[in-house]
Each structure stands twice: as structure tokens, then as C-alpha cells.
Amino acid sequence: MSTKRDYYDILGVGRQASDAELKSAYRKLALQFHPDRNPGDQSAEEKFKEAAEAYEVLRDPRKRQIYDQYGHAGLEGTGFTGFGGFEDIFSNFGSIFEDLFGIRGNRHGTRGRAQRGSDLRYDLRLSFMEAVFGVEKSLEVEKRETCAVCGGTGCEPGTQPETCGQCQGSGQVTRSQGFFTLRTTCPRCRGTGQIINTPCGHCRGVGQVNTMRRVSVKIPAGVDTGSRLRLAGEGEAGSAGGPPGDLYVVIHVEPHDFFKREGRDVICQVPVSMVQATLGGEIKVPTLDGEKPLQIPKGTQFGDVFRFRNAGIPSLRNGDRGDQIIQVLVRTPTSLNRKQENLLRQFADIEAGKLGSKLKNMLKGGGAKAAN
């Protein structure tokens, strides 16, 4: 169960809040808890990150719809995993600060400098057997890529950006607000340090476009729920020539009707009849590799355990397999005909006679002492 607070409660708005109300509520919180205004205040830092995450979700119509229907759990498959820290917020969320009040998202330079692209997350569900033996999957991933027309410059081919005259190419201007002096995004170039007079018609001057890409991933044998695979360079495109981010595939394994996994071992329960348990015999046991014979010894009891060596889950490190553990469940017959009942009564009489003889022998041997 998620421990995150409700996003609407964080921003202090109702669930029917308009975009303007969301923006106003977030602007107030971001200004109040901005790290430049609260140096060293851990509580303010957490509230700042919390508000940023809430606004990031609710401002996006698709994410907001998913969140309204399924809550935090529903966002796991969208690629959004929250923010890890300030640099994560500022590198992925800077344009919102600019839209709201001109505070530059990246506190260490202008947007014109190369920045690595964002990492993406993909939650992949596998069947039990796919996880055991491995599989190759084709994933459809939505991400931002460098515009193929302008090459990421944002300019129409054949044109070049100009240096911003207001910030002289730095992308930032300094201004005072009461007791605070803030470095803010240049309102003219919006932090790029450059002016694009003829924007690219394909990406509208952004330099990146949203695309759907198919990515092939080989799932190794032995993965389990929580396993995470990193596909280097398959995340979103970097800006200003920066490298792309990575794609992290998080594994979720569906349960099996017969097998249960414990580490590298698989456990199963096999029913046998009372007669089989009493007289012994051979039974067929399903394994990960198909049926395999198991010899049941005479007098097998309910809950007795047997083991197939090297028939379990492969190790991710070296491929060595665990064991299959078989627990025997002796089944008591529930519907007998008259002949079967008579035979069981005869058997019971014989067992009672044996027990009586044992008791007599114990008494003759002085098993009981007379009281003084």
C-alpha cells in the first residue's frame, strides 16, 4: 500500500481543480519552499519535492486521469517514478518553473548547455515460466527524441539562433525580491541564452518531439519480481547535444497454479492416495522441464518431503539451478463402496489386535508398577 500523500491534498485543491487553480496553488508552494529561500531546511526541501511531484502529475491530462482512477499504483506503468532530488526536479521540470515565475530550473547553468536525457521506467509483467527460462520481449515506449529535421537546434534548417541581448547569452538575470536576491530565467530567451527567430516547423522550436518506439529486450533466465534491467541510451533524448537517458525495465512475475518459488528452489504439493502412501509406488510429478517419475516408499506420511536436485530456478549469475521440493499430501478416500468398507474394517481389526498384543507384552514385562 502506498505511503504517499494524496496529490490534491498536497496542493490544497479539490479534485475538480482547473489548470489555472493547480498552477496557482503550485506556484505558491514552490515559492514558499524553494531551496534558495530555505537553505539547509530539510522539511522545506521535502515539501518542495512533494509539491513538484504532485503538480507534475496533475498538470498532465493523461497522468491525471490515471491517477484519478487508480491512485499512485496506476502511475507505475507510465514511466513516472517521482523525483529523487533537486537536480532530478530541476533537470526534468525546469520549463514549469519558467512558465510559473521565471525561476531557472537548473541552478548550475543555462539550458543551452548539454544535459543528459531523463531516465524512463517500464513495468513488465511476465508469466512464471517466462521468468524461469527467460524470454525476449518487444516493448512500446513513449519518449522524447531529438527532432530529425533540425537536429535538436530548434531552428528551421538553414537558419541559426542569435545571442540573447538581454542576458548576453548567460540565460539568467539577477533580481531582488525583498530580502532575497534570486537568479531567474531571462524572460526574453527563457534561459537558453539564444533567440530563435525562425523556429523549426516540425518541433516548433523545442528541438525534441514525442515518439513511440519499439524496444527489444532479452529477459535473462531466473529473474523475479523486483528485478530491474537497464537498457542504456533508451531513455529520453538529451538536450543541447547531451547523452540520452536510460530505460529501466522493472519485472513483475505472475504466480503459478502449481509451483511456488522460494529463492532458487521451487516448491509443489503432490496428492497421493492412502494406498499409494501405504504400499509405496511410482508417481509422475510435474517439473519445470516436464513430468518426472518419483518413487514413493512404503509408509509415506502426510507432509513428507522429497527433492529433485537441479530442477529449480537458474541463478542469474552462473545459471546453476536450485532444487524442486515435493511435499506429499495423503488423500483420505471420501466415498467407498461396501466391499472397500469391509476390507478397511478387517484391516482395522487386525491393527487393533496388534496394538492389544503390544499392550499385553508391556504389562507382562513389568511395564506397570503396583502402588505401595
pLDDT tens track for 188-233: 887 778 888 899 999 988 888 999 999 999 999 999 999 999 999 9
Whether pLDDT at 27 is above 70: yes
Q: Report pLDDT for 333.
A: 82
Q: Report pLDDT for 360.
A: 59
Catalogue all structural domains in the chain, each as residue range(s) with its CATH number. Answer: 1-108 (1.10.287.110), 117-161+196-255 (2.60.260.20), 260-331 (2.60.260.20)
User: Which is more confidently placed, 260 or 75?
Assistant: 260
pTM (2 decimals)? 0.58
User: For cell 531516465, what's the residue?
Assistant: 119
Whether pLDDT at 99 is above 80: no
State the SS3 of the chain.
Answer: CCCCCCHHHHHCCCCCCCHHHHHHHHHHHHHHHCCCCCCCCHHHHHHHHHHHHHHHHHCCHHHHHHHHHHHHHHHHHHCCCCCCCHHHHHHHHHHHHHHHHCECCCCCCCCCCCECCCCEEEEEEECHHHHHHCEEEEEEEEEEEECCCCCCCCECCCCCCEECCCCCCCCEEEEEECCEEEEEECCCCCCCCEECCCECCCCCCCCEEEEEEEEEEEECCCCCCCCEEEECCCCCCCECCCCCCCEEEEEEECCCCCCEEECCEEEEEEEEEHHHHHHCEEEEEEECCEEEEEEECCCCCCCCEEEECCCCCECCCCCCECCEEEEEEEECCCCCCHHHHHHHHHHHHHHHHHHHHHHHHHHHCCCCCCCC
Whether pLDDT at 255 is above 60: yes
Whether pLDDT at 91 is above 50: no
The pLDDT confidence band at residue 365, using thresholds 50, 70 and 90, is low
* Spacing of C-alpha 131 from chain mean position: 15
- Averaged pLDDT, 234-252: 89
| Cβ proximity of 143 and 214 under 8 Å | no
pLDDT in tens, 278-335: 999 999 999 999 999 999 999 999 999 999 999 999 999 889 999 999 999 998 888 8
Mean pLDDT is lowest, of 56-65, 246-255, 357-366, for: 357-366
The pLDDT confidence band at residue 35, using thresholds 50, 70 and 90, is confident
